[in-house]
Structure 1
Amino acid sequence: MADHIRIRKVPGIWTVRSGGAVLGETANALELSEGDLAPVIYFPRSDIAMAFLERTDKTTHCPHKGDAHYYSIITKSSVHENAAWTYDAPAEGMEAIKDHLAFAPSESVTVEQI
């Protein structure tokens, strides 16, 4: 694992919401801290209503985490392009985030501890 990246299980119940819909809620959230960047909460895919997500063609590469694949969030009231990402085959040392999704918080996408 890269020395500047830390992954830990965070306590409590976490939720992600968009367009008035609850996309997921979990007691098994992970927090990924990377250098000076804001921590990112990762939700197990099994705790996300995947019917609201549609995989896109977007990918990005991180030399420490691997290749990220993106999803758009589609609700009755909105579409948020490339608002979530996952690492299907994370780099060595990052295996804890496999089968997890992270969401980009915005005015219409909230990630919070409840």
Structure 2
Amino acid sequence: MPTASWNGVVIAQARDDEVEIVENNVYFPPSSVKTEYLQASAHTSRCPWKGLASYYSLNVDGKVNENAAWYYPEPSEKAAQIKDHVAFWRGVDVQR
């Protein structure tokens, strides 16, 4: 069961058949992410084929990991399967 953890807390957990793997990143469906740990960020980035990514910072027990999660609210047609799915980096432990 894929999980994403940071600062000793599981941030996301999903069944294998619920996640999408794109460019070796695990994209968790929105329903599997514990949104109480997410803070909206103004940061964005652009992927040439997926589109414009939006970011969240993580806040766990008062510790903040800036822009540690990203998602595509309006991905390109080629990346439609990851719409609103959340991926993690910046020290977040993602286990497949």
TM-score, normalised on structure 1? 0.79
CA RMSD in angstroms comes to 1.0
Distance 2:56 2:10 in 1: 16
- Tell me how many residue pairs correspond in the alignment: 94
Alignment of structure 1 residues 1-114 onto 2, 5 Å: 13-27=1-15, 28-33=18-23, 39-106=24-91, 109-113=92-96
Q: Identity of paired residues, percent?
A: 36
Distance 1:16 1:77 in 2: 18
Q: Deviations over 1:31-69 (max 9, x none)?
A: 002xxxxx1110001100011000100011112000000
Structure 1 portions without partners, runs of 5+? 1-12, 34-38
- Structure 1 letter corresponding to 2:94: V
Q: Where is the helix percentage greater, Structure 1 or Structure 2?
A: 2
Q: Secondary structure of the equivalent of 2:43?
A: strand
Distance 1:91 1:23 in 2: 26
Distance 1:41 1:63 in 2: 19
TM-score, normalised on structure 2? 0.93
Displacement after TM superposition at 1:105 (Å)? 4.9
**For the Cα contact (< 8 Å) 1:105–1:111, is it kept in 2?**
no
